[in-house]
């Protein structure tokens, strides 16, 4: 019997087996138990978080021979066939490979016919955002007036690319990245069931490397089992992942606390002998600094086995809180810009040295080898004067920053801000209202209510603060009246697309050749096949 990879073998078959996403599962369970079933569901989220898995479980719940239930039996022919991918009334489509309108029309031609085996005919369209505009138009007609025996389950990693007309006809569920702790707990459970000897620290490394994706974590676990020869241990897994030994991370942090630039360069030289992943080094350093900051605030740490609590406590005592915050921010920026460096090692070195260079000056310290300079009497006077000058410059800086603000063209500004995923989706469904003090006010329509969270508002505020060079806050209210008076970026883009479409249609209608074909042969122009051409992109 061939080996079945862990990601497929341990794919959940019921809602109860699914890891995380409780906000989504609870809504689906309530809908199934109450019988209030929508005709179209959209599952959005990054890779490997359970979009298609939850969709397949929902398909089983709808078609189980024992009736519609939040707990499908898993034993009837319908449940078994869905699990094996051969249920005739579950039509799975990869939209990335079927983007043309003819593919979509061919798919939807059979919507009107009753299911062959099941209770419902279920269309599961993966990566639905890859469909063309004409394909969306064809799909939209069916979504507007679907037959009662049809359910649409749509999955996407990029929901902001879907037309608002499609979004408004679906129940949308945003699946979140899984936390490293949830993933690690699941890996422990699977290793116990598979009789695999695995160290918790090694599984923690795999959980962090998976970046929120349980599927990626299981693929990495398969790789680790093969690499380690059956026993999953921390050191071999760290080597496989290119992870830096945590002792080096602690050592670098201690050298930062001691202001020892020469020691940092020496430590990087030792680390370089292990062919490290320097992006992961800066990531691990930021993670340790975050633990230190938490310890300084609450006198403890919620860390699992990732970092030694005694060592964290010692560093928290030695390092000023301002230094910890500065080092943390610098490590994030350095990791982000690492690809711009001549090579990864020099990028990491400069990031660490930048931490010391911009560290708040401490009495009797200089950056470099940790030597001490003492000054007495008038020798200190020039430094005091310089400090006063710097203070005056700092007072002037906020005034200069505020002067950079201008009431923005919101659609144009959104296009240059570094916004992704649900944060961008929130932004493009807002209109700019005004600025008062350091707060920027927006209004959004009801379509943005599902993605309006504190974290996403904060992310939008951070992007605006970075762009304008000052600290800004964001206030967003749901107000359909304001949105009617102004256009959101989504509405503006839709309007421009419609205008392009109308211009293209009018151009074709007035074309002499088209008129000749109509007059001579009774030809008819198929307007739904017209698509504006984006001349900014090459073929």
Listing DSSP states for 233-276 in one string gives -HHHHHHHHTPPPHHHHHHHHHHHHTTBHHHHHHHHHHHHTT--
Residue 434's DSSP bridge partners are 441
Q: What is the pTM of this model?
A: 0.57
Rounded to an integer, the average pLDDT of 430-434 is: 89
pLDDT at 532 over 80: no
Tokens of 490: 């989504």
pLDDT at 265 over 90: yes
Residue 478's DSSP bridge partners are 444
Give the CA diameter of the chain. 104
E-strand stretches of 132-191: 150-156, 171-174
Q: Residue 147: pLDDT band by 50, 70, 90 thresholds?
A: confident
Are 175 and 21 in contact, with CB atoms under 8 Å apart?
A: yes
For 439-468, letters b (16+ CB in 10 Å) and e give ebbbbbbebbebbbeeebbebbbbbbbeeb
For 402-427, letters b (16+ CB in 10 Å) and e give eeeeeebebbebbeebebebbbbbbb
Are 490 and 456 in contact, with CB atoms under 8 Å apart?
A: no
Q: What is the pLDDT of residue 312?
A: 87
CA R_g for the chain = 29
- Between CA 266 and CA 354 the distance in angstroms is 16
Q: What is the pLDDT of residue 29?
A: 92
E-strand stretches of 139-184: 150-156, 171-174
Residue 45 backbone zone (phi > 0: left; psi -120 to 50: alpha; other: beta): left
pLDDT at 411 over 80: yes
Whole-Å CA distances, 216 to 187, 296, 456: 11, 34, 25
- Between CA 179 and CA 213 the distance in angstroms is 9
Tell me which fold the domain 246-357 belongs to: Zinc Finger, Delta Prime; domain 3 (1.20.272)
The dotted CATH code for 410-486 is: 3.30.300.150
Tokens of 459: 């992310």
Q: What is the pLDDT of residue 382?
A: 39
Phi, psi dihedral angles at 173 (to 5 degrees): -125, 125
pLDDT at 192 over 70: yes
| Strands 150-156, 121-126: pairing kind | parallel
The lowest-confidence range among 139-153, 290-304, 452-466, 517-531 is 517-531
pLDDT at 495 over 60: yes
Q: What is the pLDDT of residue 425?
A: 87
CATH architecture of 6-174: 3-Layer(aba) Sandwich (3.40)
- Between CA 345 and CA 278 the distance in angstroms is 7
Q: What is the pLDDT of residue 402?
A: 46
CA 287-293-298 angle, to 5 degrees, is 125
pLDDT at 400 over 90: no
Nearest alpha carbon to residue 439 among 410, 469, 465 = 465
Q: What is the pLDDT of residue 318?
A: 87
- Between CA 115 and CA 429 the distance in angstroms is 38
Q: Mean of the per-residue pLDDT values for the chain?
A: 82
- Between CA 341 and CA 338 the distance in angstroms is 6
Give pLDDT tens digits for 69-122.
Answer: 899 988 899 999 998 888 999 988 888 776 667 767 777 777 888 888 889 999
Tokens of 39: 């005709």
Rounded to an integer, the average pLDDT of 370-398 is: 43
Q: What is the pLDDT of residue 190?
A: 92
- Between CA 268 and CA 276 the distance in angstroms is 10
Phi, psi dihedral angles at 123 (to 5 degrees): -105, 115
Q: Is 249 exposed, middle or buried (0-12, 13-18, 19+ CB in 10 A)?
A: buried
Q: Residue 144: pLDDT band by 50, 70, 90 thresholds?
A: confident
Q: What is the pLDDT of residue 41?
A: 93
Q: What is the pLDDT of residue 305?
A: 52
pLDDT at 123 over 50: yes
Give pLDDT tens digits for 512-529.
Answer: 877 777 776 667 776 666
- Between CA 25 and CA 61 the distance in angstroms is 12
The lowest-confidence range among 255-264, 431-440, 528-537 is 528-537
Q: What is the pLDDT of residue 238?
A: 81
Give pLDDT tens digits for 283-325.
Answer: 889 989 999 999 888 877 665 556 677 888 888 888 999 999 9
E-strand stretches of 102-169: 121-126, 150-156
- Between CA 415 and CA 430 the distance in angstroms is 13
Q: How many helices (H) and strands (E) does the chain have?
A: 24, 8
Q: How much of the chain exceeds pLDDT 90, in percent?
A: 27
pLDDT at 397 over 50: no
Rounded to an integer, the average pLDDT of 194-217 is: 88
The dotted CATH code for 180-241 is: 1.10.8.60
């Amino acid at each position: 019997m061939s080996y079945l990879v862990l990601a497929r073998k341990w794919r959940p078959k019921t809602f109860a087996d699914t890891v995380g996403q409780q906000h989504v599962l609870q809504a689906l369970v309530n809908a199934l138990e109450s019988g209030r079933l929508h005709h179209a569901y959209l599952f959005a989220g990054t890779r490997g978080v359970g979009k298609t898995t939850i969709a397949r479980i929902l398909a089983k719940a709808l078609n189980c021979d024992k009736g519609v239930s939040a707990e499908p039996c898993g034993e009837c022919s319908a449940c078994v066939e869905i699990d094996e991918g051969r249920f005739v009334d579950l039509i799975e489509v990869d939209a990335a490979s079927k983007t043309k309108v003819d593919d979509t029309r061919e798919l939807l031609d059979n919507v009107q016919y009753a299911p062959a085996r099941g209770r419902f005919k279920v269309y599961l369209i993966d990566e639905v955002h890859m469909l063309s505009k004409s394909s969306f138009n064809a799909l939209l007609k069916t979504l507007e007036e679907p037959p009662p025996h049809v359910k649409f389950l749509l999955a996407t990693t990029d929901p902001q690319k879907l037309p608002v007309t499609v979004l408004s006809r679906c129940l949308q569920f945003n699946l979140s990245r899984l936390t490293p702790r949830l993933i690690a707990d699941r890996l422990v459970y699977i290793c116990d069931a598979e009789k695999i000897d695995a160290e918790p620290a090694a599984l923690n490394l795999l959980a962090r490397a998976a970046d929120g994706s349980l599927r990626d974590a299981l693929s990495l676990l398969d790789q680790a089992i093969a690499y380690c020869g059956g026993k999953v241990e921390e050191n071999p897994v760290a080597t496989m992942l290119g992870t830096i030994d945590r002792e080096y991370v602690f050592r670098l942090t201690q050298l930062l606390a001691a202001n020892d630039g020469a020691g940092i360069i020496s430590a990087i030289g030792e680390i370089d002998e292990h062919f490290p992943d320097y992006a992961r080094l800066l990531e691990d350093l930021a993670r340790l600094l975050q633990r230190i900051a938490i310890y300084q605030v609450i006198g403890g740490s919620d860390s699992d086995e990732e970092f030694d609590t005694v060592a964290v406590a010692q560093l928290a005592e030695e390092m000023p809180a301002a230094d910890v915050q500065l080092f943390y921010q610098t490590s994030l920026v350095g990791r982000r810009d690492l690809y711009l460096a001549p090579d990864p090692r020099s990028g990491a070195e400069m990031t660490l040295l930048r931490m010391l260079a911009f560290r708040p000056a401490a009495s009797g310290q200089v950056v470099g080898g940790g030597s001490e300079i003492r000054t007495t009497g008038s020798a200190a006077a020039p430094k005091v004067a310089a400090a006063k000058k710097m203070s005056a410059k700092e007072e002037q800086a906020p005034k200069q920053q505020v002067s950079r603000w201008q009431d923005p063209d919101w659609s144009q500004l959104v296009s240059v801000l570094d916004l992704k995923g649900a944060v961008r989706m929130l932004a493009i469904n807002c209109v700019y209202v005004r600025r008062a003090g350091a707060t920027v006010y927006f209004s959004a329509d009801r379509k943005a209510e599902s993605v309006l969270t504190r974290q996403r508002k904060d992310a939008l505020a951070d992007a605006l603060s970075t762009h304008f060079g000052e600290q800004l806050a964001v206030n967003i209210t749901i107000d359909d009246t304001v949105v009617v008076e102004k256009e959101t970026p989504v509405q503006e883009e839709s309007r421009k697309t419609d205008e392009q479409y109308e211009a293209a249609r009018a151009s074709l209608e007035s074309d002499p050749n088209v008129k000749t074909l109509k007059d001579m042969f009774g030809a008819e122009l198929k307007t739904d096949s017209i698509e504006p051409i984006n001349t900014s992109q090459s073929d």
